[in-house]
Amino acid sequence: MEYDEYRRHDAVGLAALVASGEVKPAELLETAIARAEEVDPRLNAIVRPMHDIARERAKTPLSGAFAGVPFLIKDLMQDYAGLPTGSGSRALATQPMPEHAEVVRRWLDAGLVVFGKTNTPEFGAKGITEPKVNGPTRNPWNTAHTPGGSSGGSAAAVAAGIVPAAGGNDGGGSIRIPAACCGLFGLKPGRGLVPSGPAYAEVLHGAAVNGVLTRSVRDSALMLDVIAGHDPAGPYVPGAPDGPYLELARREPGRLRIGYATESPIGTDVSPEAVAAVEDAIALLRELGHEVEEAVTGVDERQLARDFLTMWFASMAAEVDHVRQATGCGEDQFELDTRVMAAVGRATNAPTYIASHNRWNEHSHRLALFHETYDLLLTPTLAHPPARVGQLATPAWMEAASRLLLVVRGAGLLAKTDLVDRVAAENLRWTPYTQLANITGRPAMSVPTYWTEGGLPLGVQFVGGLGSEGQLLSLASQLEEARPWFDREPPVL
């Protein structure tokens, strides 16, 4: 199959071609590999090619909703048996995993042909994809800019046409942020809907979930049908929707009441382009018959940001300790930023951590009250257009201070000052809107309805109530029909 024809189809369309016998899985795979070899040297999206494994699989009888469709998985939380899950870390680059993650097993059962793993920052801890061990991934729309993170490798690969869909996960925006940066659709499912096992019962207390990045809404809907549902070893029995997600995506959403906000919830600056993206979406939504008005969530989102980072830092400490114990590696195998986050996490005492986690219930309660009035919350996905590669790197002066703190074991002092709040504001300044859905466990999506004057995508976010994945998909389909984005292709490739 020629590449131009390959790109004209989404994953559902390619699966239909395979099912009809018009094309063989091996042909699709070779087209995908050829596209990767053509463009990935400029993008650095794929960090672990699996061509031989994929070629052998493509020769076998395949069945399932996506039988024969080429696919990429993220090199974080998506274990493939016998291969390392590097997690963007030098410490894990060579450690093979004993079994498939449940979500990977479900993708394989659906007939997908996995031929590589995609780049991610170390342990998924940043909204950019610039790990020291693998180097930065670049945005296909402008390679001087980031594709976002932490699912930046997957987003770059989908936007560049290597695959129509790729695996991602989202613990603080890591599906929605790269979707917004790369002109893609990205849905973060609600807590517990998609399994995290068998390595984890849940990740980050359920704040982190698996999903995909796609160019079409129906691909995301059918992918959710494939991966959602009860895991016998998991901690939840998720509620079932009133039909397949693919069917729900085809339904009319009806007249929705949508509350919007553009101010940064943590008080940081917001670019005029991010505001313009929301204003553009508001105009489109009103044209489609929805009621849209400015609103406030009632959530103390500055406190939510602090609670998010308390959990994040402590999780980094636990992850670093676990990896060191499992591999015998030294502290120097981790990036400096990771070591600092871990040090601050270790300095957080147990009562402080439990109090912070208990506040998640308060934040969820406040957002539930908001959803009694509004079906959805609309915000920018990003406060600024995609940053330039290296722009969000830790400044040299902060690196020097961090090294000193580690030497003198000053993380405890650091944790008790307002410096953590200032560092948090700086780190979340670009992405202050996305953590709300993770902490509260609500589904949320980024929709690519806007491009800046400079030609960079800048998506908008919708946050729904519990179990609203179908409603979000329905609205996304309506927006996709009214403002199509599928055929938009990065000009630099």
359, with CB counted inside 10 A (0-12, 13-18, 19+), is: middle
Catalytic residue (choose from 154, 174, 315, 402): 174
- Write out the H or E segment, with its range, that includes residue 406: helix 396-407
Strand, helix or coil at 217?
helix
Helix/strand/coil for 166: strand
Q: In angstroms, rounded to a whole number, what is the distance separating the alpha carbons of residues 364 and 376? A: 14
Concerning whether 87 is annotated as a catalytic residue, the answer is no
Give the gyration radius of the chain's Cα atoms.
21
Residues 6+ apart with CB under 8 A from 203: 77, 169, 171, 196, 209
What does DSSP assign to residue 389? T
- 74, 117, 126, 188: the catalytic one is 74
What SS3 class is residue 472?
helix
Q: Is 216 a catalytic residue?
A: no
Place of tokens 């200032």: 422
> What is the Cα–Cα distance from 386 to 402, expressed in whole angstroms?
26
In whole angstroms, what is the distance from residue 382 CA to residue 394 CA? 19
Question: What are the strands, taking DSSP E only, across 321-435?
Answer: 376-380
The active-site residue, picked from 150, 220, 356, 446, is: 150
Q: Which of 446, 447, 445, 449 is nearest to 483 (CA)?
A: 449
- HSE-CB for 454 with a 13 A CA cutoff: 14
Active site residue 24: no
Residue indicated by tokens 């986050």 = 341
Residues serving a catalytic function are 74, 150, 174
